[in-house]
Amino acid sequence: MSRVWNFSAGPSCLPEEVLKECAAEMMDCNGTGQSVMEMSHRSAAFEPIIKDAEVRVRKLMKVPDNYKILFLQGGGSTQFAMVAQNLGIHTGKAAYIQTGVWAKKAAAEARHLGVQVDVIASSEDKNYSYIPKVEKIEGDYDYAYICFNNTIMGTHYEYIPDTGKIPLVADISSCVLSEPLDVSKFGLLFAGAQKNLAPAGVTLVIIREDLVCDLESCRPGTPTMLCYKTHVEGESMYNTPPCYTIYVLGKVLKWIEANGGAEGMARRNKEKADFLYDYLDKNEGNFYHATALIGSRSLMNIPFLTKYAGAENEKEINAKFVKEAEAAGLVNLKGHRLVGGMRASIYNAMSLDGVKALVEFMKKFASNN
């Protein structure tokens, strides 16, 4: 069977070059006679793999020297708790901008752990179809929190809020290394790897050194495993890390570097997104329309509805679209239930050819329906 065009929101498609290289090394990585899946994380064979991944992250993201890079487990959802437990320790107050499901869940987790959460802005009034403009955040907050790219709603920050001395925390899971990002403007960044970096299993955390505190200084009841200092001191090996995922991550980072780094990814991603948005905004008969508002649109996740949105047969049309698309080799296009319709996730590894194939299918489907 030939490869399909995979528009999954995550786990997502990976660069074919990386998949082939991993397959070639499955039985013997770097002449060790073993797979990375079998390696001890403490071995001399694995040490250069994790060190190389850290070096590449620091280079590609231009991470300043006063930031630590961690490879953790538990996904973004565990970071919701770790951020609150490690940073919400002085005034016990935090500012959250609520732009979708994941920011809302992060705020709920912080409240559960005893942090006073102030939702200083929200786009819930329009089903999270836009990013509120909050250029400056002030107050006695321990930190401010945003979700930089909203996978479900297809929105993205086109600016970075000015928080002054308040550490800014951002979930960049679905846009990490899709474009350049000034790390120095943030106190902490985290990203689940399963969208732009690697298979599911590892979470990248970049944290400014002054925000790394002892377990005794974290919020009461914080487990040892959920203290950032535990992992800083253990160099991401306090417990067994997801070795194979880190190995693949390193290869994806190498692929990104070979394709122009974050700047190259931004050019590639803008070209893909512009091609699809242009069709959605100008298609004949307005058969389709994008749900995210102009000025807040994601380059990574593009939800769209048909002209049947709200009609009795909407679900039937959507199901037909997804089924026929799959038959044409375009998979995982079903939209999230909170938005409906369809969603094309076009992460770094998705090519322009894949997006063009999708648009050609959309034209035929519109013509027939």
Six-digit token string for 231? 């992992």
Mean of all residue pLDDT scores within the chain: 97
pLDDT per position as a tens digit, 152-189? 999 999 999 999 999 999 999 999 999 999 999 999 99
Catalytic residue status for 195: yes
- 36 CB-near residues (< 8 Å, 6+ apart): 25, 29, 46, 49, 243, 244, 247
Catalytic residue status for 210: no
3-class secondary structure, 334: strand
pLDDT for the residue numbered 2? 85
What integer is the mean pLDDT of 228-234? 98
The answer to whether 145 and 119 have CB atoms below 8 angstroms apart is no
pLDDT per position as a tens digit, 253-289? 999 999 999 999 999 999 999 999 999 999 999 999 9
C-alpha distance from residue 93 to each of 76, 81, 147 (Å):
21, 14, 18
3-class secondary structure, 4: coil
The answer to whether 201 and 193 have CB atoms below 8 angstroms apart is yes
What integer is the mean pLDDT of 69-80? 97
From 68, 195, 229, 334, the catalytic residue: 195
The size of the chain, in residues, is: 369
3-state secondary structure 299-324: CCEEEEEECCCCCCCHHHHHHHHHHH
pLDDT per position as a tens digit, 90-146? 999 999 999 999 999 999 999 999 999 999 999 999 999 999 999 899 999 999 999
Side-chain-side CA neighbours of 140 within 13 Å: the count stands at 5
What integer is the mean pLDDT of 288-306? 98
pLDDT for the residue numbered 72? 98
Side-chain-side CA neighbours of 104 within 13 Å: the count stands at 11
pLDDT for the residue numbered 5? 98
Six-digit token string for 327? 């038959």
Residue 48 has pLDDT above 80, yes or no: yes
pLDDT for the residue numbered 204? 98
3-class secondary structure, 281: helix
Residue 36 has pLDDT above 80, yes or no: yes
From 5, 68, 102, 229, the catalytic residue: 102
What integer is the mean pLDDT of 41-57? 96
From 5, 68, 142, 171, the catalytic residue: 171
pTM over 0.85: yes
28-64 in b/e form (b: 16+ CB < 10 A) is: ebeeeeebbeebebeeebbeebbebbbebbbebbebe
Residue 220 identity (one-letter amino acid)? P
pLDDT for the residue numbered 16? 96
pLDDT for the residue numbered 1? 66
What integer is the mean pLDDT of 317-334? 98
